[in-house]
Amino acid sequence: MNKTVAVPPQEIKENQLKDRVYLVTGATGGLGKATSLALAKTGATVILTGRNESKLDVLYDDIEAAGYPTPAIIPFDLEQIDEDNYKQLIHSIYNEFKRLDGLVHAACHIGVIGPIGSQESSEWQKVQQVNVNAAALLSKVCLPLLQQSEHASITFISDSSARQSKAYWGAYGVSKVSIESLAVMLADELEGTAVVSNVFIPGACELPIRKKTHPGVENYQPNSTHEAAESLVKVVLSPESGVCYSHSVNG
């Protein structure tokens, strides 16, 4: 498990990300949606990806209604394993924008929280595919375009509880430990380039996934999703690489 540090207390200026383009996976999820809005608020053009087109349309409308830069929608299923489909995604981005400044891996499949003996093979494979394999493959195909940016970032999301490698976290826990290792390896490989690779850990947050991983837990003060998304944007802008940033020490 990688050591965590606090998110850098930098001030995000208005329109700081103007003319920059960011791809967010799982854009309609709790943290994905908040992050998409936070990036757009800062002036970025956000490419929204996910499986549910109707939810993507709603988020698109929310961003436009707020007066932020017009986003783009690319429906995409991360359960796909064919690399050509991932290459087509990045080709679409290049054809439309000719650039990519960041990739936020907000998509996540939780699977079953329980003992290893209760983990169905198909569900285990799905968790690893969505949380790890797809993130690795998408990062790979995005790298050539990211490396053309003056400063580009790849941001992975971990979990303050699942990363402890304790009992009952199952495939989800394994995927979070794996994603942290992937992020650090990638940072090492990209040393000396314009691309940084980091991990963001939201901590106890008002997210739908929190209700699944901590059912019935009410004796804590969760951070708002909005606050977590603002911290994530700071991680996106960090010049450091290979770092596990933690938004909060709560839960």
Residues acting as catalytic residues: 172
Neighbours of 212 (CB within 10 A): 13
Q: Provide the sign of the torsion angle of the four alpha carbons 203, 102, 43, 10, taken in this order.
A: positive
Rounded distance, CA 81 to CA 89, Å? Answer: 13
Rg (CA), the chain: 17
Rounded distance, CA 69 to CA 97, Å? Answer: 13
Rounded distance, CA 251 to CA 213, Å? Answer: 11
